Amino acid sequence: MTQVGRAPRREPAEPSPVPDLAILPDLASAAQVAADRVASRCARAIEARGECAIALAGGDTPRALYGYLATPPTRDRIAWGRVRIFWGDERGVAPEDPRSNFRMAQETLLSRVPVPADRIHRMPADHPDLEAAAEAYAALLREHLPAAPDGWPRFDLVLLGLGEDAHTASLFPGSPVLEETRRAVVAYTVPHLGMSRMTLTLPVLNHAGEVLFLVSGAQKAQALWAVLEGPRDPDRVPAQGIRPAGGRVVWVVDAAAASSLAVKPSTTPTPGGR
């Protein structure tokens, strides 16, 4: 049973859309709702501009979502030849490494749908010259994505997850990357991980037409509360920094992840992204 409501309106400094919030019984049903929204969003983008540019999320949670996207009927709703695939972030490992976000997406989705190889843009977080690689990836965004009026590349859809510390992509609490205003892509060593990461930055994430978070599990409940109902503090709660002025933020979560939320969504129909 899908319950949907609107997270309580935070008092943002600048206007931002109230995120849609869909709470589903479990990860499987949440992933199915998320897959439906991805398909709807893609169809609208392709109808509007002939293409759909998506930034994929990493980690484990998206596996369920990518599985639904790669399986009929949802798979057959998407004109995969018109889709362009990017990543929101990547670990500093080789593409065949089990920790690679590219490898996870390759296994669960891209090896099962007909996206042309030249429309799949792996984030080279294992490149020996990370700064040049980040700049080259930003150039790819400028080359292949439509530009917003202020010149920033604009994704049709960004998929994101949420860490237990409320990080998203590779934007971690207290990271200087959270202050980035100039670059669309940065690479840096994450101190507490002792690993390099490459990530889209807040300015480009906040130019997306839609951002869809898929969050699952009781271990994420505190982080989800902090993002949606806790005090505003994007430096300590990085996912709060995701507020696309000209786009939508959609949260598709399971009941375990939502267990600390005060909001009790009404049973208005799921926003199908139409």
**What residues line the site for ligand 6PG (CB under 6 A)?**
57-61, 88-89, 91, 101, 161-163, 167-169
CB nearer ligand 6PG, residue 132 or residue 193: 193
CB nearer ligand 6PG, residue 83 or residue 123: 123
CB nearer ligand 6PG, residue 20 or residue 90: 90
Q: How far is the CB of 217 from ligand 6PG (least distance, A)?
A: 7
Q: How far is the CB of 56 from ligand 6PG (least distance, A)?
A: 9
User: Taking the alpha carbons of 204, 173, 121, 30 in that order, is the dihedral positive or negative?
Assistant: negative
CB nearer ligand 6PG, residue 58 or residue 273: 58
Separation between Cα atoms, residue 193 and residue 57, nearest integer Å: 18
Q: How far is the CB of 65 from ligand 6PG (least distance, A)?
A: 10
User: Which residue type occupies 49?
Assistant: R
Q: How far is the CB of 231 from ligand 6PG (least distance, A)?
A: 22
CB nearer ligand 6PG, residue 53 or residue 148: 53
CB nearer ligand 6PG, residue 88 or residue 273: 88
Q: How far is the CB of 57 from ligand 6PG (least distance, A)?
A: 5
Query: Of 209, 212, 222, whose CA–CA distance to 258 is shortest?
Result: 222
Q: How far is the CB of 128 from ligand 6PG (least distance, A)?
A: 21
Q: Which residue is nearest to ligand 6PG (CB)?
A: 161
Q: How far is the CB of 77 from ligand 6PG (least distance, A)?
A: 24
CB nearer ligand 6PG, residue 89 or residue 126: 89
Query: Of 90, 91, 33, whose CA–CA distance to 253 is shortest?
Result: 33
